[in-house]
Chain A
């Protein structure tokens, strides 16, 4: 079963980040690298990435078969996705255990969502 672990950035988490010392920030980054490495090693990591600032985002829409891109809206969004881990593991409990190892969980909260699957039963 696959789970997406979402790391959100919001005013509260950014305020916490401002209070961290350089050592703490270094440990934070290292914590993510170590978590990725440990999940790759255990065969549970599908993919993990961090995302750049949302001011660099493009919004894409198609109207009358024409692709339109725009840079906004971004200034209004107080919360944005900062990174994610897609993992495949044994149980929801295990996914929560993994999420708890994300350094962000120590300062704020990370979100865990099961991925919709294509499985069917006989109904």
Chain B
């Protein structure tokens, strides 16, 4: 299968931008010029056919555009300040260097806010237009445009440069990139994304970008872990919602609808990473997702293994959501009563006071324990306080099922195994 023009352009975007920044400097103007070159290509190539050297075509067009932008800027400045214009340097052949990694690190610079990192990464590395990003996040185009230009100003002001950071900063900088990619992934995790035409699928885009990063850092266990986590989570997407948009909990999903090739790839990635690199939170979450994927039915789930992995995750990356997920696993191994005691303990964490997920987990445990009235109340309380509409509908349905005498399915319904789970960075999901 030949890739579409759109796919090709997105793959080339960071390479072309890297070539331009190396040649001319000035990330800001180069990025604008590359956007315009991508737009020109998107209009021309489908009708006129691909150029012989698509990358070279884009570099040439973007360079030309960059020179125009630069001249306009210089002319403006000269009028304002009466300065002599500096001659634009002649284009030199672009060195055959892959700048994608440097670009990732620059777009996720710690001086930027989270929303700016996301917008800039999707545009500069992902090759998406401002309009596409705006539609994906359901905000006005001007809002995204402003985030991008502000991000560029901040990069300029902070003196950040387009090159590799010193080695002592490197792990932390890569960790920021991973957080941004995971944030893009979870943003894409919406019930409506499949149906919404004309909207970029952020989940797919996050996986594509993480693949690019993985290709540049194949030995980084956490990069591999994140890619595996995304693949294993996204593999469940076809089974996660009904055609009417209703959520299907993991325990009740039709596992034959899971994406088998994605699971195979995710499992291979995580197996290699666990065997060869230092362990980290993304790897552990991917390992948990892999244990779920291995169970042919929800009854076959190896909850001992999952409990062990959550306990390990809690020790290297503690966080309120990890505690909750570990309690759900604990219930599957040791029964709901023991887990309810742990929940009462965990609830003392200020981050969990009044949190809807505490109510949801309690509801589920009470349901399992046969305390139907209390379970119903807790389900309704959780439904009232969640920030997610599909989850609200699910919890209300659950409350009704208790009334009808349906009770819990006896499995890890509300446990949550990946979303906003154990990376110890609850803010990444934006809704904790």
Contact = CB atoms under 8 A, between A and B. Distances in A.
Interface string A34-66: 000000111111110000000000000000000
A119 interface: yes
B414 A123 contact: yes
Contact of A117 (B140, B143, B240, B389): B389
A116 B116 CA distance: 22
Interface string B63-91: 00000000000000000000000000000
A82 B186 CA distance: 35
Given A90-B113, A91-B427, A118 B388 contact: yes
Interface residues of B, number: 46
Interface stretch (B53-61, B93-101, B220-228, B416-424): B416-424
Contacts of B146: 40-43
B191 A118 contact: yes
B106 to A, nearest CB: 18
A1 B418 CA distance: 19
Contacts of A122: 233, 236, 240, 249-250, 416-419
B15 to A, nearest CB: 27
A49 B330 CA distance: 49
B318 interface: no
A25 B418 CA distance: 51
Contact of B150 (A43, A114, A118): A43
A41 B365 CA distance: 47
Interface in A84-123: 88-91, 114-123
Contacts of B143: 40, 43-46, 88
B403 interface: no
B318 to A, nearest CB: 20
Nearest to A89: B115
A1 B388 CA distance: 11
Contacts, number: 98
B190 A118 contact: yes
A45 to B, nearest CB: 6
Contacts of B431: 1, 114, 117, 119
B105 interface: no
B413 interface: yes
A36 to B, nearest CB: 12
A31 B74 CA distance: 36
B241 interface: yes
B390 A118 contact: yes
Given A46-B143, A88-B115, A121 B419 contact: yes
Interface in B221-246: 233, 236, 240-241
A87 to B, nearest CB: 10
Given A116-B387, A123-B413, A42 B150 contact: yes
Interface in B187-213: 187, 189-192
Q: Specify the main secondary structure of chain B where it touches its partner.
A: helix
A89 B146 CA distance: 13
A88 B139 contact: yes
Contacts of B142: 40
Nearest to A45: B143
A112 B191 CA distance: 25
A123 B388 contact: no
Given A1-B431, A120-B247, A121-B189, A43 B416 contact: no
Given A41-B150, A90-B114, A119 B189 contact: yes
A40 to B, nearest CB: 6
A122 B249 CA distance: 6
A117 B417 contact: no
A122 B325 CA distance: 12
A121 B140 contact: no
A48 B196 CA distance: 26
A116 B389 contact: yes
Interface string B28-60: 000000000000000000000000000000000
A91 B143 CA distance: 17
Given A40-B142, A46-B143, A123 B150 contact: no
A119 B247 CA distance: 10
B419 A120 contact: yes
Nearest to A46: B139
Interface of B: 113-116, 119, 137, 139-140, 142-144, 146-147, 150, 186-187, 189-192, 233, 236, 240-241, 247-250, 387-392, 394, 413-420, 427, 430-431
Interface of A: 1, 40-47, 88-91, 114-123
Closest CB pairs A-B (n = 7): A121-B419, A43-B147, A123-B249, A43-B146, A1-B430, A118-B190, A116-B389
8 contacts: A40-B142, A40-B146, A44-B143, A117-B388, A117-B389, A118-B191, A121-B419, A122-B240
